[in-house]
Amino acid sequence: MSKIFEVSNLKKSFGGLTVTDNVSMGLAKGDRVALIGPNGAGKTTFVNLVTGHLRPDSGGVFLDNENITSVNAISRVRKGLVRSFQITRLFRDMTPEEHIALALLQVEGKARYIFGNYRRMSHIMDEIYEILSTLGLQTLARIKVANLAYGQQRLLEIALALALRPKVLLLDEPAAGVPQSETGRIEDALASLPEDLSVLMIEHDMDLVFRFASRVIVLAAGAVIFDGSPEDVVNNARVRVAYLGSYAQ
């Protein structure tokens, strides 16, 4: 199957320290892949390289068969490579409806209309509520973010990413900071993502990884040490030593 997203021999060093060591991986359309690894494995640097916030020393990043290695971060988003963040970056005095409207209008080059009556734009309103419904947020559409629970704010982060119409979605620890009682909402939201959307999720919660991913990639010391099924990852000796520890025993 052809890959919609591919990283080839990506390398990055800071001084004499190599933090991304010849990393290669790919996602086909609709893939659900989890990227895991111990603290200091190089996951954050890898994501920053992929999203254009850092330039690699060598190697390439490809989206839909286009080399985007030299493309800036904003242009990568416009091309369909979208990231959600580990920490919420929302406007507390805006509603979910307003957040999604702003994202959709930005995609269409009409962000100025957020200050007018975007509710008269039927196609924008239809898409806003389709996205919010996907994430189970439609009943909270006109409540200020300041009044939403943290788990609901994390869902809104994912909704915002969807509003940017991604081809590939990078989820940076979508359940981080969410109380255990609310993680089910995150899992339900992940299960409801469009089937043709390719998703790479960076996550520490191994239970969530095993329920979400059809494939797991493990980084350690900046290098890929495993790329395979969730069933096989717990039986891999290198992964046990580098990351899973007692979880796999």
Number of domains in the chain: 1
* Residue 186 belongs to some domain of the structure: yes
CA distances from 174 to 14, 32, 199 (A): 28, 14, 12
Given a cut of 70, is residue 86 above it in pLDDT? no
Give the integer Cα–Cα distance in Å for 154 and 152: 5
- The band of 234, judged by pLDDT with boundaries at 50, 70 and 90, is confident
Q: Look up the pTM and report it.
A: 0.88
Task: Report pLDDT for 60.
Answer: 97
Please check the confidence at residue 229 and state whether its pLDDT lies above 60: yes
Q: How many CB atoms lie within 10 A of CB 221?
A: 14
Q: Note whether residue 148 is domain-resident.
A: no
Top-confidence residue, 182 or 172: 172
CA distances, 118 to each of 122, 149, 160 (Å) = 8, 26, 17
Range name among 64-78, 106-120, 145-159 with the lowest pLDDT average: 106-120
The answer to whether residue 174 is domain-embedded is: yes
pLDDT for the residue 40: 84
Return d(Cα 194, Cα 133) in angstroms, integer. 12
Percentage with pLDDT > 90 across the chain: 65
Average pLDDT over residues 178-196: 87
Task: Pull the structure tokens for residue 205.
Answer: 């919660």
CB 81 within 8 A of CB 68: yes
10-37 mean pLDDT: 95
How large is the average pLDDT for residues 53-81? 95
Task: Quickly state the pLDDT bin for 249 (edges 50, 70, 90).
Answer: very low
Looking at residue 245, its pLDDT comes to 53
pLDDT for 158 equals 92
Q: 177 in a domain, yes or no? A: yes
Asked if residue 125 is part of any domain, the answer here is no
58: nearest Cα among 12, 120, 7: 12
**Is residue 57, in this structure, part of any structural domain at all?**
yes
Domain of residue 84: give its range. 3-91+165-248
Give the tokens for residue 235: 């039986």
On whether residue 101 sits in a domain, the answer given is no
What is the C-alpha to C-alpha distance for residues 233 and 215, in angstroms, rounded to an integer? Answer: 9
CATH number at residue 223: 3.40.50.300
Q: Residue 52: phi, psi to the nearest 5?
A: 90, 10
- Distance, in Å, from the CA atom of 124 to the CA atom of 136, rounded to the nearest integer, reads 18
Indicate whether 247 pLDDT > 70. no
What pLDDT shows up at residue 116? 67
What letters, b where the CB count within 10 A reaches 16 and e where it falls short, cover 130-165? ebbebbebeebbeeebeebeebbbbbbbbbbbbbbb
Q: Residue 126 is encoded by which pair of tokens?
A: 């239809």
Span 37-61, pLDDT tens digits = 988 889 999 999 999 999 999 999 9
Taking only the tens place, the pLDDT of each residue in 95-147 is: 999 999 999 988 888 777 666 688 889 999 999 999 999 999 999 999 999 99
Residue 157 inside a domain? The answer is no
